Structure 1
């Protein structure tokens, strides 16, 4: 295959690139399932032990963007898989959506998550004509709270004691961002 010129490619910025999941990405999905603290923050529960069969099925089922959840692999510009992100809960009628993300343990703290979320926000707002990003963060997930604020989200509320894990009930912090708020946020940081 010829070399690809990414210089004008929508799905990347100065540090990361989003690409379709490939069936061979199953191994990263499998390994990430062993990071119980991170998975608990993402899924609000302790998952059953991972299996290679499930990991392969996951990668295969999301490799062609045919599902309602648009799954991407996040790579740094060296081509190293650093995590995954998805656009989900898309409601075309009301213009709402959500985003799920996990950055691999060895790559956290480099801004990859914030960069990936910004790419998906631009896609959702400026290409899909969606109008409102809604998301929630499990109480105690300070990294995700910081990221939500960094991309311009507004804390809209708290749902009290809605998830039970690790022997207690946890709140979720509700965040939202409209297209107009995002445009204003971009004008302030650019």
Structure 2
């Protein structure tokens, strides 16, 4: 990564920090909550992210997202994910700080109608850059149901590696499934970032 040696370098860093090739991260706006609540209650999403697939009143979900995305402190950033070409909201992503060890948990939701387009992988990469280059984190981890193979593949493309499993902790469709724990360290991310910079 290039050092911030002058004003132009600092401006370039700030301008590109939350911007990828096709998506960018921005503040959550009032108009976003309706879509976020709808996605949270969509059966295609609940079975992938929640322990029990059940609808929750929109007002309750909206209040949760208000709290998650308030960005009241610098250590628990949460962003709306928007498409660059048309500014359409496609998801939400955040980092939940752990009490110790400069560690945070990565969380993400991409609207079901926007999955399968590589937006999740690009969002992961942006959040990792923010977490390591801006927040100075040492480790970022996540948890995902073992049958969510699409998400696991996206996380792996972004640099996460499987670190372990909690066996038979989720119950859907009359059967148990594993929870996969994945993580990436700052040293691993910096190596990938340097390699990507030399290819530009």
- So what's the TM-score if we normalise by structure 1? 0.85
Match of 2:154 in 1: 147
List per-residue Cα deviations over 1:116-141 (Å, max 9, x = no partner): 11111111111111111121220110
TM-score computed with the length of structure 2 as normaliser:
0.81
1:67-86 equivalence runs, <5 A: 69-77=76-84, 78-86=86-94
Q: How do 1:1-190 residues align onto structure 2 when only pairs under 5 Å count?
A: 8-47=15-54, 49-66=55-72, 69-77=76-84, 78-88=86-96, 90-91=97-98, 93-189=100-196, 190=199
* RMSD over equivalenced CA pairs, Å: 2.1
Structure with the higher helix share, 1 or 2: 2
Give the distance between the partners of 1:104 and 1:56, measured in 2 at CA.
Answer: 15
| TM superposition outliers: structure 1 runs of 4+ over 6 Å | none
Structure 1 unaligned spans of 5+: 1-6
**Number of residues of Structure 1 aligned to a counterpart in Structure 2:** 182
- TM superposition shift of 1:106: 1.5
